[in-house]
Amino acid sequence: MSNSKGTNIKVLVRVRPLLPREEALEDESSKQCLITMPVESPMTTILKVPTTSTFHSQKNKQNRPGSPSISEEEFKKYTFDESIWSFDRHQDNFVDNSAFYEKTGPDIINHFFQGYNVCLLAYGQTSSGKTHTMMGNRNDPGLIPLIIKDILGQKELLINEKINCEVKISYIEIYNEQVNDLLGSEESTKCRVREHPITGPYVENVKDFIVNDYDDFKNLLNKGNLKRSTASTSMNDKSSRSHAIITLTLKQTKFADADSSLDIGDADEEMVSNIKLVDLAGSERLAKTKVYGQQDRIKEGTLINKSLSVLGRCINLLSANSSNPNSKPALVPYRDSILTYLLKENLAGNSRSFMIFCVSPIDFEETYQTLNYATQVKTIKTAARANKTKLSTIPVQWDLLRQSDQDAITSLKQEVQELTDKLKRMESSEQTPSSASDNFNKLINYLENETRRLRFENKYLKNQLNKKDKEVEELNKHVNYIDHEFDEFAFQIQQIQSDSVSQEKNHLQVNCQTTVEELEKELEMFDPVRAF
C-alpha cells in the first residue's frame, strides 16, 4: 500500500446568482452582491461587511475611545483552493456547472482510479446552491452526473489495459438522525450504522447496484431523488430536508500480461475505492425559513442544525489538532451525529476530500460564517492511501484445481462435482461442519472469481475484436482511396500520353509541310519552263 500522509482537504467556495425572489426586492441596497472574486486572483474571495450588519455594529461598540473608527467600507479577504464565481453569467470569469467540473473533475477521477477513497461534499446555508452544484438540472447538469459520465467512460478505456472495472452505487439519506436507503425496497428502508475495525463506519444492509452505463445510473438516481425528503420553505421552493450521500464503489481487477497479447492472464492486482458524493441539508434559521407552527419542519430543522453543529465542532477540533501537532490531540465527537460518524474517514482518515462551500451573494451573516468555517477546513489533513491488494499474495490454493489443457467449463464442472463429493465425505467423517463449509465457501469464491475472469476475458476479446474491426474498416477506406487515386493517376497518364502523341504528330506534320514547301521551292528553280 502506498501512503501519502497529510493531504489537506481541498476547499472550494462558490457564490450563486440572485434568485428571482431576491431580484424582485425593492430596496436596491439589499440586493447588492457582497462578494468579489478578482479575475486575476482565482483563489481570492472578498466579502464586503455591510454597515448595517450586527458584526459591523459590534465592532463599532468594541472600538475604544481614541482608536481609529471602522471605515465605512470594510472587507474580509480569504484565500481558498478555488473561488468559483457564478454570480453573473455576463462576466468573463463566470463559471457554470460544466466549467466548474472541468476545474475539479479530473483531479477527483484520477484519485478515484488510483485507488484512493474520495469524498466530495457540498456545504452551505439553505438555498445557497448545494443541490444545484451537486445534481444540477437538465440544462446544466451538476458534478454528480458529470463525474459518473467520466467514470463510466474511463471504465471502458481500461478494458484495453486488461483492467476490469465494476462500478456499484448506493444512495442513502440521513433524515431526522435516521439512515434511509433511497434505493431500498418499498417498506423498510431504515438502516443501522456499524463500524468496521479497518474501513471505519458503514451503513449495514444498504442495497447497492451495478452501474453498467449512464442509463442505469439515471434510473437509479431518479428513483432515489423521488424518495429523498424535500419540502418547500420560504427560502427555497424545493429545500433538501435530509443529508444525501451517494456512494460509488469501484473494483478494479488487473489481469497479468500473458504470453499472447490476446490472453488476459490471471488477476494479479485488485483495487477497491469508493467516492462519497454528499449533498448536505442547509443550515437554517427558523425565522428565515418561516416554518413556525409546522412541527415536522421545526423538528427537521432542529436536527439538521444539530448535525451541522456537530460537524462544525468536529471541524473545529480537527483543525485545532492539525495546527498543534505536538500537543495531545483532542477527542473528536464523531459519534454525536450520524452524519459525522459516517464521514469520520473522510474528515480525518483514509480519504482525499474536497469541500465545496456554497454562499449567497447577499446574506452577510450566513456567508461570513460559512467562509470562516471554510477557512478552518483548509487546515484539516486526511491520510489517504491507495487501496491496492496484490492478489498473488493471497494464498488461493484452488488454482491447483485448474487443468490448463482442458476446456475451462468442463474442467470446472468436474471440479464442482469432485469437491461436492469430497464435501459430502467430509461431512460424514470427523470434519467439523465449520471447516467443511469453509472449504465450500472457498470453492464458491474460486468459482466466482473464475467466472468473473472468464466474463472479463470475453469482454476484453470483444473489445479487441471491435478495435480490429475498426482498423479493418479504416484500412478498407484507405485501400478504396488508393484505388481511386490510382485510377485518377492512370487516367492522367493516358491523357498525357495521348496529348504528347498528338503534339508529336502535329509537330511532324508541320515539319513535313515545311520540307515539302522547301522541296517545291527548289524544284521550281529547276523548272525548264521557268528558266526561259
Binding region = 124-131
Report the alpha-carbon distance of residue 33 to residue 46 in Å, rounded: 11
User: If phi over 0 gives left and psi between -120 and 50 gives alpha, with beta otherwise, what is residue 461?
Assistant: alpha
Distance CA 91, CA 82 (A): 17
User: Angle, nearest 10°, between helix axes 54-62 and 364-377?
Assistant: 80
Applying CB under 6 A, does 367 fall inside the site for ligand ATP? no
Question: Residue 358, interface with ligand ATP (CB under 6 A)?
Answer: yes
Q: Binding to ligand ATP by residue 322, rule CB under 6 A?
A: no
Among the listed residues 64, 338, 351, 365, the one whose alpha carbon sits nearest the alpha carbon of residue 179: 338
Q: Which range in 14-22, 60-68, 152-160, 490-498 contacts ligand ATP by CB under 6 A?
A: 14-22
Site string (47-86) toward ligand ATP, x via CB under 6 A: ---------------------------------------x
Give the interface segment with ligand ATP, choosing from 23-31, 162-170, 238-246, 248-256 (CB under 6 A). 238-246
Q: Using the 8-state DSSP alphabet, how is residue 393 labeled?
A: G
Task: State the angle between helix axes of 408-428 and 433-525 in degrees (0 to 180), rounded to the nearest 10.
Answer: 180
Residue in 10, 130, 162, 453 binding ligand ATP, rule: CB under 6 A: 130
Cα–Cα distance measured from residue 432 to residue 439, given in angstroms and rounded to the nearest whole number = 11
Inter-axis angle of helices 97-113 and 143-158, nearest 10 = 40
Q: Check binding of 127 to ligand ATP (CB under 6 A).
A: yes
Q: Smallest distance, Å, CB 236 to ligand ATP?
A: 4
Using the Cα atoms of residue 417, residue 422, residue 423 and residue 425 in order, give the sign of their dihedral: positive
The least CB distance from residue 92 to ligand ATP, in Å, is 16
- List 132, 162, 254, 276, residue binding ligand ATP (CB under 6 A): 132
The least CB distance from residue 364 to ligand ATP, in Å, is: 17
The 3 state secondary structure assigned to 71-85 is CCCEEEEEECCEEEE
As given in the structure block, the three cell numbers for residue 150 are 467520466
Q: Are 357 and 14 in contact (CB under 8 A)?
A: yes
Is there binding between residue 19 and ligand ATP (CB under 6 A)? yes
Q: Which of 45, 104, 117, 131 binds ligand ATP (CB under 6 A)?
A: 131
Residue 33 sits in the site that holds ligand ATP (CB under 6 A):
no
- Give the one residue of 10, 13, 16, 34 binding ligand ATP; rule: CB under 6 A: 16
Q: Is residue 463 a contact partner of residue 158, using CB atoms and an 8 Å limit?
A: no
In contact, 15 and 35? CB cutoff 8 Å: yes
Stretch that binds ligand ATP, among 108-116, 234-242, 334-342, 496-504 (CB under 6 A): 234-242
Of 93 and 411, the one with the shorter C-beta distance to ligand ATP is 93
CB of 130 to ligand ATP, least distance (A): 4
Asked whether position 282 contacts ligand ATP by CB under 6 A, the answer is yes
In the chain, what is the straight-line distance between the N-terminal and C-terminal CA atoms, in Å?
Answer: 125
Total residues in contact with ligand ATP, by rule CB under 6 A = 19
* Residue number with the smallest Cβ distance to ligand ATP: 282
Contact status: 104 vs ligand ATP (CB under 6 A): no
* 126 in contact with ligand ATP (CB under 6 A): yes
Query: What are the start-end ranges of the H helices in 270-335?
Result: 286-289, 295-323
Among 124-132, 169-177, 329-337, 501-509, the segment contacting ligand ATP (CB under 6 A): 124-132
| Binding of ligand ATP by 201 (CB under 6 A) | no
Parallel, antiparallel, or unpaired: how do β-strands 82-85 and 74-79 relate?
unpaired
Is residue 281 near ligand ATP by the rule CB under 6 A?
A: yes
- Scan for cell 438540472, then name that residue: 137
Known binding-site positions for ATP = 124-131
Based on the shown chain and the rule CB under 6 A, indicate whether residue 145 belongs to the binding site for ligand ATP: no
Calpha distance 11→382 (Å, rounded): 13
Grid coordinates standing for 463? 473489445
Applying CB under 6 A, the residues found at the interface with ligand ATP are 16-17, 19, 86, 124, 126-132, 236, 238-240, 281-282, 358
